Amino acid sequence: MKFKLEHKDSETKARACKIETDHGVIQTPIFMPVGTAASVKGVDQMVLKNEINPDVILANNYHLYLRPGPEIISEAGGIHKFMNWKSPILTDSGGYQVYSLSANRKINEEGVEFKSHIDGSYHFFSPERAVNIQKSIGADIIMAFDECTPFPATHEVAADSMRMSMRWAKRSRTAFQQAPGRGLFGIVQGGVYKDLRLESIAALTDIGFEGYSIGGLAVGEGQEEMFRVLDFTAPALPHDKPRYLMGVGKPGDLVGAVMRGVDMFDCVMPTRSGRTGQAFTRRGTLNIKNARHVDDHRPIDEECPCAACKDYSRAYLNHLFKANEIFGYTLLTLHNLTYYQQLMAGMRAAIAAGELTDFAIKFDEDQANGDIDPI
């Protein structure tokens, strides 16, 4: 995997970078749509590629391991052929899912025993096993296996958790075999504590990875605290490698994190919100199920090129959601993913032009004004 820093913003810590993988080029800043089980919920793969065209999507090791199983995916020729996706794929190691979905997990130095949320069967992930599964299905970017530190956590608890994750990171590195176009990312932990985050970064850079992820944020600490942690975490990461903030987030989170030097993001927010009636727009969010949209024949956003905005009205979308029609979920998901991709493209262009601060000011103003156009 190759990395090139193409532009740096003069007024912030933002960067525009290029990552070359075996299945294509990723331009950053980038938002990765989440395809947990080898599918971005509600969106056909060809529509995703032809209309939204993200450079990279994310799949999840935990979910794919449980169903359909890595053997099935490998027999199909790897995850790209299995799901008919020719562009890069990043796989999360499953560390967060083991934490969040398994009430009976047992952690020791070797790894984690966990109970399947599907059928109650017991399984075990070691760092080696988590990495080897990701390798076997052919992911372009693989995540090291780590422990998800609970929030809130005392300094002592966060320190113990982080240091075990660093030992697991070293074992993940050993298990990973270099291959053209592939990369392994280490994950920074340490809770909200500066000394622990810097200790984690030092340990990871000493091991050496193709990229560095920031884990353990967006877990309840709030945006202000997240930005405070990013202020000292992102600049301490290697400048010649990509930086990935895991599980983030809302549009304002993305803009603020990019200004602090983060390159890559993922979150279920745009797809999950699309299924519940929430639309993200340049003027904030709106709930398409609200009564005011019943007879509003305008699009969600006149400037959006997505199918939902080009071909359908708020009134029609309101009707689809009230009638529990699946087509409504698909249209709103397409809209949200399109908005997120446009937001990232706008930031990439602004960084290249040296205008990110102006972009961020206008973003904040538009979001604050809200959906004020008269009906």
Residues with active-site annotation: 92, 266
Beta-carbon contacts of 51 under 8 Å, excluding residues fewer than 6 positions away, are 306, 307, 334, 338
What's the rounded Cα separation, in Å, for the pair 299 and 305? 11
Candidates 273, 294, 280; CA nearest to 342 is 280
Cα 375 from Cα 368, distance rounded (Å)? 19
Give the C-alpha separation, 56 to 31, whole Å. Answer: 8
Contacts 24+ apart (CB under 8 A), 355-360: 356/9, 356/11, 356/12, 356/14, 356/258, 356/259, 357/9, 357/11, 357/12, 359/255, 360/255, 360/259
Q: Which residues contact 211 (CB under 8 A, 6 or more apart)?
A: 1, 3, 19, 141, 183, 184, 185, 186, 241, 242, 243, 244, 264
CB 112 within 8 A of CB 98: yes
**Whole-angstrom distance, CA of residue 345 vs CA of residue 351:** 10
Q: 318 Cβ partners below 8 Å, 6+ apart?
A: 288, 289, 290, 293, 294, 296
Q: Which of 171, 2, 211 is nearest to 90 (CA)?
A: 211
Q: Which residues contact 171 (CB under 8 A, 6 or more apart)?
A: 126, 127, 128
